[in-house]
Structure 1
Amino acid sequence: MTVHSADLPVPDTLVTTRLTVEGMSCAACSGRVARALSARPGVADAQVNLLAGTASIRHAPGLSPADLAQAVTRLGYPATIPQDTAPVARTDEAATLKRAFLTALALTLPVFVAEMGGHLIPAFHHWLHAQVGSGPLNWMQMILTALVLAGPGRRFFATGIPAALRGAPEMNSLVALGSGAAFLFSAVVVLMPALIPPASRHVYFEAAAVIVTLILMGRWLEARAKGQAGAAIRALIDLAPDRATVLRDGKPVPVAVADLWPGDLVLLAPGERVAVDGVVTEGRGHIDESMLTGEPVPAGKVPGDPVTGGTVNGTAALTYRVTATGSDTTLSRIVAMVEGAQNARLPVQALVDRITRVFVPAVMGLAALAFLLWLVFGPDLAHAVVAGVAVLIIACPCAMGLAVPVSIMVGTGRGAQLGVLFRRGEALQRLSNARLIAMDKTGTLTVGHPELLAIRTQGITETDALRLAAGAEARSEHPLGAAIVAGAVARGLDLPPAAEVKASAGRGLSGMVEGRRLLIGNLSALTEAGIDPAPALRDAAEDDAAQGATPVHLAVDGRHAASFALADPVRPEAADTIAALHRMGLRTAMLSGDIPATAQTVGKRLGIDDVQAGLMPGDKLAAIRDMGAGSVFVGDGINDAPALAAAETGIAIGTGTSIAIESADLVLMSGDLGGIPRAIRLSRAVMRNIRQNLFWAFAYNTALIPVAMGVLVPLGGPQLSPMLGAGAMALSSVCVVGNALRLRRVR
């Protein structure tokens, strides 16, 4: 839940403090913590994650984190400043609740058997009362139930009663009032029976004890499920090894990863995990990066290639130089981004917040109303107590509070495993409503750099033409020239030296190679130099241009000798990605700064619905804004950053520039375009899961509160037992968390 301060003084710089908060059990709890934090002067906003048990506060530098922690602790929710950025562990909480549940169960079983066993088996009832007597049995039940409430159940009273007295009741208040009312009524029957009409002298110790036991069981199961919900991000954290082997004075020395520094040379054995980010300096091999990118095929590595901490080396021994450590590593940034997304407050959460803010007080009012109605129209006081207690117990808003955050946590964690990194949690909801996917061309739909596709020659061999051209272009910095050089190197050709190299912007390049004068450029460059284009080469070049390639011509000693077809190849997965988006009912568009002919050719080949070319960065921005609601833009370059930020949802290719990634809501870590439909499917699955959770939580309370009040009794139906209400309430939270855990299997 997020709350913004109403009268915040805006400082020049805000800092963020993260707190670990214990004892929050429902949406009312997290709402109280968020409102209390936001009310403090100097706080810009407070995000409270019920599921993770954390609070993230943006505030002025002068506000002490210790003061913020104390403010939350005073509310009854112990808050501390965590020592690291790891997710809050749920193991200790689950173990504590398990012990409390088992203790309560051991104390409750005799009470339950003594009371309910007699109802189920009349012969047992008569035998037990004959052997022990009703008076001692009631005393035994009272003592054991008191131990349950004062021991394992004390947590409900310690938090719930003070909250109710402060006028801000929450889930613990409902449990404390319900079980406490059942116990006090029964104790009065045992200790001062004259105060109770004879017809109402029934004891409900088993109800009070079973209520606490069942709710403890539900919380234990819930804590276990919460731990599973955060398993994906903990798995990412566990990827980083504890130790590495560093070269010190030429000798291998084992050191703790925390002691590594940028510049260190690390030895990487076959099968070993990469400790931190770096660059390969020696060796060739493959590294499995699937846990970070979702790509199952290991990536080839040669000297100069980057390696990422947490990935797994293949069968070759490598050496790499450390480039980043600690919080600067890719793995640490991914964990921070996922945690940030999991703490986000989706727009759908606003509905839950509005309801739960008034829900608990309303339930207490309905419980009081049910008690009064049964007192007036019912057969006796005991039935009125049962009705009031049942309403208090069954209406817990735990499931409502868990419905959204648990789905976000599991969904974003699963996305990280698939190489789909949600930098902002709100993108989960917005992406599910996507209707138009716009993409940049160069570097997004294409690989981002031109390659040599074909060579046509006249009066010269292909090898000689390529060798001469590459010799001259080796002195050029133009991307097309680099493609020619790369093509020659790929064929194993030796590049001859060039002299008198001169470049002409927009035309080409000239120079001397092996005593032959070369001119490399477009047709305009040839005609301006008085060289007649060869018809066959000119026609071939026109055909190449029609297919989206860029023709580059070569003249040797004043004669048109060759034509090179250069193009930025379309990514192999691009066509399948566009087809997948169409099958999902989405429209596609290309926004490119390339020349219209090339862009139209690429768009037609891929089946893109709308192609806009020749766009400057400002033009892309305007086009994105014109797309309106449901717009998604996918890009990778610096010039894409404004469009990524302006789109309703911006998706950055993980292999792109840092500024593009920082401007996006979502990052495809592997650079695979197939991540786009994957991300949309995951987003839709998460929102579908949230809707299912909310329906269950709201429908459950809407249906069962009237039943607990006794609306079925006049129609011949049963009056709901508080024990059944406690079991159903615990089951509702477990069902919500269990449903969210299904997202771990999304593919």
Structure 2
Amino acid sequence: MEIITEEKKRQMTVPVIGMTCAACASSVENVLSKQEGVLECAVNFANESAQIAFDPYQTTPENLKKSLQAVGYDLILDTENASIKQAEIKTNHYQSLKKRVFWASVLTLPVVIIGMFFMNMPYVSWLMLLLTTPVLAVFGRGVFVNAWKQARYRKANMDTLVALSTGIAYMFSIFNTLNPDFWHSLGLHAHVYYEAAAVVIVFIMLGKLLEERAKANTSSAIKKLMGLQPRTVWVIENGEEREIPISEVRVGDRIIVKPGDKIAVDGKVLSGVSFVDESTLSGEPIPVEKSKGHKLYAGTVNQQGSFRFLAEKVGSETLLAQIISMVQHAQGSKAPIQKLTDKIAGIFVPVVIGIALITLLVWTILGGDNAATQGLLAAVTVLVIACPCALGLATPTAIMVGVGKGAENGILIKDAESLELAHRINAVILDKTGTITEGKPTVSNSIWTIGSPLLKEIAYSIESQSSHPLAEAVVEHMKLEGVKTVPVQHFESITGKGVKALVEGETYYMGSPVWMNELGILSHDLPIIQWQSEAKTVIVFADKRQILAVFGITDPIKSTSLQAVESLQSAGIEVFMLTGDNVFTAQKVAESVGIQHFKAQVLPSDKAAFVAELQQQGKIVAMVGDGINDSHALAQADVSIAMGKGSDIAMDVAKMTLISSDLRKISQAIRLSKWTVAAIHQNLFWAFIYNLIGIPLAAGVLYPVNGFLLNPMIAGAAMALSSVSVVANSLRLKSKKL
């Protein structure tokens, strides 16, 4: 269970136990939403979870749990073992259901054979009663218990339909078994429908069994991710190696990784060299070389070498744990298209009961001979065939498979809305540094106008306090010269321009040439324009009077950026580049990757304004960035995409994250969105068309034309198969190649 605490608000995602259909999810959502203190609630039938936002001063999770238990459902509130407990409950339920289906089938088979071939044998009705009763009262008992719990609180779900239909058929058959003379006196035969009641129960249970198995496959991506962590690790304590459970690993522990081992937590290599397979997180098949200082991530697999590393993030803080949490949240979130189906599912059962009553009434008035029995049979068939399961599963199963497919390919999707919207993107805005380029800038040229060791120490000290990638490049360059630091009295970052600092009573500036021009600090003797024309970013170090040094910084373009841009443009998507860098560098980079539209010297607020400008033109805009300065534009965009190797803030704001930072994944995400939305539309079409055709047939609309009246047993089989077919259609996404 994931819990996020905010001021006066708590959000939690918890497993829900006992739901059998989409109407159940609607009931659970309705019950929870009406509890005092609940601010928001969304229940997902496919992954059996509830996302709840509530005021902890007005209610507690325990109160919410009690409110659901009263209507036959339950919540798992154990934060540590929620997933394990839910899996155990589902496994036990599946095994129990399998046994009940088997024994119910054993008893139902002779009932069907007798009903079809031996209806004239002595005491046939009593024998069928004897065989059918355990099917309903023992093996199918849960249907009637759940329906009763719903009825007590004026709720209705699929169990209500099944209990009504089979219960009426069963009670009507008992009446005819006990009082056959009632119908004989009217010149009619005392029909019994034990086989219909028993077969419907068996088909409902069998459908649930197949549905549970199919639904388990939709969450296989989560199971794979959870299986990536080892159970134990080898740590070094007091110079000795010791094996401990992963739950006991703490930040600062030194861990040994041997050939073939899975890496347990996030950290940094201390010693040794090896190659690590990171495909499970990034989707990239080529192992990455790791040596001293390189980052490691939980869930990745060491190859041939061995090394020691320092644990830096453990438990829920690791990248793998965050991915699992985000995938679970995304799979539980609702796509906008699902709001309509939720409303329909909420009123579906009462409407169907109304249709069944109308069917019985019309047959009774207009049916002629045997009107009452045929009307009853038609009403029972309507109740059986009309199931909201397929409707409720249509959207969430496709979303679950789509999100899982994305995670397996290094595309982390935060919510269903972004997955549904991505296929409509017609404009993509790319940041330059760290998005189109590698984001690993290095100083290629430097000129000092005054070669004072103290000035180098001041420049080094100022840049050491900045988190900007360009500052890091200067720091790494000056480290090689063995420069020391000096105290910095005041440090101020000027967004989009540079930094200003006070050192030993003197003000110094480190930033772009444009900013220096604004400050009136000029120099015509330095090759600033020449370096910029060579696609180098220039950083200037100055005091209030003069330029003290200039640094030419290069940042290589990613080898995949050109192919990524071509792929987007060939799909009819306009590609733009925004950068805070100078015009010369921006133009050079844009030309290198085939981008026709770009803007240079753009401030963070300008990026967001440009996104809004495109949106006003009616475009669906995707913003792709990696830095803190991109976060405003990411929040403004319709679909926001962050680079996995970028800043934490960018990844927090973005709705999608490309773990490998490979821009080719954008086209893959758009294709995944297209396929997922297509699967949703197909599912909804078949769910609606099934009921639009099935209910009138069950009511007997063809009877006046050709005498056709749908058998309740066939209706039960059709209902079961409708849910399975929807889930199976969603599972087709797994076979697609992104």
Q: Under TM normalisation by the shorter chain, which class is it? A: 0.7 to 0.9
Using the TM superposition, give the Cα deviation of residue 334 of structure 1 relative to its aligned residue in structure 2, in angstroms.
1.0
Using the TM superposition, give the Cα deviation of residue 170 of structure 1 relative to its aligned residue in structure 2, in angstroms.
1.2
Using the TM superposition, give the Cα deviation of residue 79 of structure 1 relative to its aligned residue in structure 2, in angstroms.
3.2
Choose the corresponding residue for 2:674, options 684, 699, 713.
Answer: 684
Using the TM superposition, give the Cα deviation of residue 625 of structure 1 relative to its aligned residue in structure 2, in angstroms.
1.6
Q: State whether residues 16 and 57 of structure 1, in contact with CA within 8 Å, keep that contact through their aligned partners in structure 2.
A: yes
Using the TM superposition, give the Cα deviation of residue 22 of structure 1 relative to its aligned residue in structure 2, in angstroms.
2.1
AA aligned to 1:714 is P
The residue matched to 2:188 in structure 1 has which SS? Answer: helix
The residue matched to 2:139 in structure 1 has which SS? Answer: coil
Using the TM superposition, give the Cα deviation of residue 531 of structure 1 relative to its aligned residue in structure 2, in angstroms.
10
**2:51 paired with 1:64:** no
Choose the corresponding residue for 1:738, options 728, 731, 738.
Answer: 728
Structure 2 equivalent of residue 75 of structure 1 = 71
**2:29 paired with 1:34:** yes
Q: State whether residues 451 and 483 of structure 1, in contact with CA within 8 Å, keep that contact through their aligned partners in structure 2.
A: yes
Structure 1 equivalent of residue 129 of structure 2 = 142
Distance 1:469 1:430, change over 3 A: farther
Task: Provide the C-alpha distance between the structure 1 equivalents of 2:78 and 2:140, rounded to a whole number of angstroms.
Answer: 28
Task: Provide the C-alpha distance between the structure 2 equivalents of 1:485 and 1:264, rounded to a whole number of angstroms.
Answer: 29
AA aligned to 1:31 is S
AA aligned to 2:711 is S
Q: State whether residues 18 and 81 of structure 1, in contact with CA within 8 Å, keep that contact through their aligned partners in structure 2.
A: no
Task: Provide the C-alpha distance between the structure 2 equivalents of 1:96 and 1:481, rounded to a whole number of angstroms.
Answer: 63
Shifted more, 305-314 versus 474-483: the winner is 474-483
AA aligned to 1:170 is N
What do residues 81-134 of structure 1 show as CA deviations (whole Å, max 9, x unaligned)? 235253732433322221121111111011011112x1xxxxxx4xxx6xxx63
**2:403 paired with 1:408:** no
Using the TM superposition, give the Cα deviation of residue 319 of structure 1 relative to its aligned residue in structure 2, in angstroms.
0.3
**2:598 paired with 1:611:** yes
Structure 1 equivalent of residue 587 of structure 2 = 600
Distance 1:384 1:531, change over 3 A: closer
Choose the corresponding residue for 1:163, options 143, 150, 170.
Answer: 150
**2:197 paired with 1:208:** yes
Return the index of the structure with the highest Cα Rg. 1
The residue matched to 1:254 in structure 2 has which SS? Answer: strand
What do residues 446-495 of structure 1 show as CA deviations (whole Å, max 9, x unaligned)? 1124347799xxxxxxxxx9xx999x989964777986998999xxxx97
Using the TM superposition, give the Cα deviation of residue 603 of structure 1 relative to its aligned residue in structure 2, in angstroms.
1.7
Choose the corresponding residue for 1:723, options 688, 703, 713.
Answer: 713
Q: State whether residues 531 and 538 of structure 2, in contact with CA within 8 Å, keep that contact through their aligned partners in structure 1.
A: yes
Choose the corresponding residue for 1:422, options 408, 413, 423.
Answer: 413
Distance 1:543 1:614, change over 3 A: closer
Distance 1:295 1:643, change over 3 A: same
Task: Provide the C-alpha distance between the structure 2 equivalents of 1:382 and 1:429, rounded to a whole number of angstroms.
Answer: 48
Task: Provide the C-alpha distance between the structure 2 equivalents of 1:583 and 1:206, rounded to a whole number of angstroms.
Answer: 60
AA aligned to 1:622 is A
Task: Provide the C-alpha distance between the structure 1 equivalents of 2:225 and 2:656, rounded to a whole number of angstroms.
Answer: 18
Using the TM superposition, give the Cα deviation of residue 153 of structure 1 relative to its aligned residue in structure 2, in angstroms.
1.0
Q: RMSD across aligned C-alpha pairs, in angstroms? A: 3.3
Using the TM superposition, give the Cα deviation of residue 387 of structure 1 relative to its aligned residue in structure 2, in angstroms.
0.5
Distance 1:11 1:330, change over 3 A: closer
The residue matched to 2:73 in structure 1 has which SS? Answer: coil
Structure 2 equivalent of residue 442 of structure 1 = 433
Using the TM superposition, give the Cα deviation of residue 263 of structure 1 relative to its aligned residue in structure 2, in angstroms.
0.7
**2:382 paired with 1:391:** yes
Runs of 5+ in structure 2 lacking a partner? 464-468, 485-493, 499-511, 541-549
Q: State whether residues 13 and 329 of structure 2, in contact with CA within 8 Å, keep that contact through their aligned partners in structure 1.
A: no
AA aligned to 1:423 is K
TM-score with structure 2 setting the length: 0.85
Q: State whether residues 411 and 686 of structure 1, in contact with CA within 8 Å, keep that contact through their aligned partners in structure 2.
A: yes
Task: Provide the C-alpha distance between the structure 2 equivalents of 1:34 and 1:212, rounded to a whole number of angstroms.
Answer: 27
Using the TM superposition, give the Cα deviation of residue 599 of structure 1 relative to its aligned residue in structure 2, in angstroms.
1.2
Using the TM superposition, give the Cα deviation of residue 228 of structure 1 relative to its aligned residue in structure 2, in angstroms.
0.9
Structure 1 equivalent of residue 343 of structure 2 = 354
Distance 1:424 1:532, change over 3 A: closer
Shifted more, 472-481 versus 290-299: the winner is 472-481
What do residues 706-728 of structure 1 show as CA deviations (whole Å, max 9, x unaligned)? 11111112221521111111000
Structure 2 equivalent of residue 342 of structure 1 = 331
5 Å-filtered alignment, 1:102-117, equals: 102-116=102-116
5 Å-filtered alignment, 1:479-628, equals: 545-546=532-533, 548-550=535-537, 566-628=553-615
Using the TM superposition, give the Cα deviation of residue 678 of structure 1 relative to its aligned residue in structure 2, in angstroms.
1.3
Q: State whether residues 273 and 311 of structure 1, in contact with CA within 8 Å, keep that contact through their aligned partners in structure 2.
A: yes
What do residues 149-202 of structure 1 show as CA deviations (whole Å, max 9, x unaligned)? 001111111111342454322110000011111111111111111333442421
What do residues 591-629 of structure 1 show as CA deviations (whole Å, max 9, x unaligned)? 211112221222233222421221111111111122215
Distance 1:606 1:158, change over 3 A: same
What do residues 361-411 of structure 1 show as CA deviations (whole Å, max 9, x unaligned)? 111111111112222222312211111111001011100011111111111
Structure 2 equivalent of residue 462 of structure 1 = none
Structure 2 equivalent of residue 52 of structure 1 = 47
**2:270 paired with 1:281:** yes
AA aligned to 1:422 is I
What do residues 290-334 of structure 1 show as CA deviations (whole Å, max 9, x unaligned)? 111111111111111111111111111110111122111211111
Runs of 5+ in structure 1 lacking a partner? 1-9, 119-124, 456-464, 499-504, 508-520, 554-562
Structure 2 equivalent of residue 199 of structure 1 = 188
AA aligned to 1:29 is C
AA aligned to 2:632 is P
Distance 1:403 1:82, change over 3 A: farther
Distance 1:337 1:215, change over 3 A: same
Structure 2 equivalent of residue 693 of structure 1 = 683
Q: State whether residues 473 and 481 of structure 1, in contact with CA within 8 Å, keep that contact through their aligned partners in structure 2.
A: no
**2:302 paired with 1:307:** no
Distance 1:530 1:643, change over 3 A: closer
The residue matched to 2:83 in structure 1 has which SS? Answer: coil
Structure 2 equivalent of residue 518 of structure 1 = none
Task: Provide the C-alpha distance between the structure 2 equivalents of 1:658 and 1:108, rounded to a whole number of angstroms.
Answer: 59
Structure 1 equivalent of residue 638 of structure 2 = 648
Using the TM superposition, give the Cα deviation of residue 52 of structure 1 relative to its aligned residue in structure 2, in angstroms.
1.9
Q: State whether residues 201 and 382 of structure 1, in contact with CA within 8 Å, keep that contact through their aligned partners in structure 2.
A: no
Distance 1:173 1:482, change over 3 A: closer
Structure 1 equivalent of residue 94 of structure 2 = 94
Task: Provide the C-alpha distance between the structure 2 equivalents of 1:12 and 1:232, rounded to a whole number of angstroms.
Answer: 33
Task: Provide the C-alpha distance between the structure 1 equivalents of 2:695 and 2:397, rounded to a whole number of angstroms.
Answer: 25
Using the TM superposition, give the Cα deviation of residue 634 of structure 1 relative to its aligned residue in structure 2, in angstroms.
0.6
Distance 1:604 1:187, change over 3 A: same
The residue matched to 1:427 in structure 2 has which SS? Answer: helix
Distance 1:592 1:531, change over 3 A: closer
AA aligned to 1:75 is V
AA aligned to 1:112 is V
Structure 2 equivalent of residue 16 of structure 1 = 11
Using the TM superposition, give the Cα deviation of residue 551 of structure 1 relative to its aligned residue in structure 2, in angstroms.
7.8
Task: Provide the C-alpha distance between the structure 1 equivalents of 2:138 and 2:523, rounded to a whole number of angstroms.
Answer: 100
- Percent of aligned pairs with the same amino acid: 36
Task: Provide the C-alpha distance between the structure 1 equivalents of 2:288 and 2:336, rounded to a whole number of angstroms.
Answer: 39
Q: State whether residues 633 and 649 of structure 1, in contact with CA within 8 Å, keep that contact through their aligned partners in structure 2.
A: yes
Structure 1 equivalent of residue 216 of structure 2 = 227
TM-score with structure 1 setting the length: 0.84
Using the TM superposition, give the Cα deviation of residue 570 of structure 1 relative to its aligned residue in structure 2, in angstroms.
1.3
The residue matched to 1:199 in structure 2 has which SS? Answer: coil
Distance 1:291 1:641, change over 3 A: same
Q: State whether residues 21 and 80 of structure 1, in contact with CA within 8 Å, keep that contact through their aligned partners in structure 2.
A: yes
Task: Provide the C-alpha distance between the structure 2 equivalents of 1:529 and 1:70, rounded to a whole number of angstroms.
Answer: 72
What do residues 558-589 of structure 1 show as CA deviations (whole Å, max 9, x unaligned)? xxxxx997532211111111111122221111
Q: State whether residues 474 and 482 of structure 1, in contact with CA within 8 Å, keep that contact through their aligned partners in structure 2.
A: no
Task: Provide the C-alpha distance between the structure 2 equivalents of 1:19 and 1:288, rounded to a whole number of angstroms.
Answer: 33
The residue matched to 1:310 in structure 2 has which SS? Answer: coil
Distance 1:620 1:195, change over 3 A: same
